A = this chain, B = another copy of it.
């Protein structure tokens, strides 16, 4: 079902697909890189798997491949861009880079982006800020897909929140949606005939359950940390719409322009060595990470790892052995690359 494809081959195929969808050379190169990197890092769900849906959205007019992010206003260390429903990855990369540039000048930089489209792997932009040498925070608001705590109907987004600490030995990166599991993950477990490792929602009778099919049926997916994830998610939604002067999750529900259609995204970059000397700071971070990793493991075969460390190990394996991609997805991307745009989004079905 899954095959391994060399990174460069996968990226070139994806790039041809993006070019055939009308993206410029520069945008196609960037999107192909980001999508392939996401799959190489083990985030297939928001890497290669998303290209067919992207193709659908472009053809449905939900994404304008020719739009460019436009500066609406700038104040102090803060800038506001209108994404004009352009390619989400392109807009988000632009804004993450601007946040880093603002941080270079002001110590901290904030970019608030509105009217953009799905940024695919949320963590991509925090990783990017960290590799540029900045502490990065980013989040997005989405259409409603999860019940607020105390409700049984979808009433808030899963609004991923990301944070990356730059480190010479590799960034420490958090990339977390406010739902405990994505619906895509539930489908993967259900099709494999497996229970979730931990409860992921409620069944239609209101019992906490690890049965993925029962959660898909009730649509009562569990917020990360019960009431906590529900609370943080509505706050992230409000904050994003407020700062970017754009759509809330409610506005997106009403507009109904696809997943994350017209969403807001926030990018904050901070110079990590404003007050500490670089070498000493790096040594301190390394000591903290090493201590966490040395915590007594439940299973000696699975030592503790800080977030991001396993991603880098996975990436190295992908570069060495090829990037894992679903055979059917790769066939679809090859089809797009050959100029046949008639694909359907199988990954989220």
State the copy count for this chain: 2
Q: In the bound complex, what is the Cα–Cα distance between A292 and B233 (angstroms)?
A: 11
Contact B275 A244 (CB under 8 A): yes
Docked-complex contact A107 and B76, CB < 8 angstroms: yes
Report the separation of the CA atoms of residues A165 and B206 in the bound assembly, to the nearest whole angstrom. Answer: 31
Chain B residues with Cβ under 8 A from A208's Cβ? 198
Q: Which of A151, A285, A299 has the most CB of B within 10 A?
A: A151
| Segment of A20-28, A36-44, A59-67, A172-180 engaged in the interface with chain B | A172-180
Provide the main secondary structure of the chain A interface: mixed
Q: Which of B180, B235, B276 contacts A163 (CB 8 A)?
A: B235
For window 154-175 of A, CB contacts with B under 8 Å fall at 155-156, 163-165, 172-174
Any chain B CB within 8 A of the CB of A51? no
| Interfacial chain B residues near A287, Cβ < 8 Å | 248, 250
Residue contact B239 to A135, C-beta cutoff 8 Å:
yes
Of the candidate stretches A90-98, A300-308, A316-324, the one touching chain B is A300-308
**A331 on interface, CB distance cutoff 8 Å:** no
Contact of A242 among B75, B243, B272, B307 (CB under 8 A): B272
Residues of A within 8 A of B (CB): 72-73, 75-78, 80, 105-108, 110, 112, 135, 147-153, 155-156, 163-165, 172-174, 176, 180, 198-199, 206, 208, 224-226, 228-229, 231-232, 234-239, 241-245, 248-251, 253, 268, 270-272, 274-276, 281, 284-285, 287-289, 291-292, 295-299, 302-307
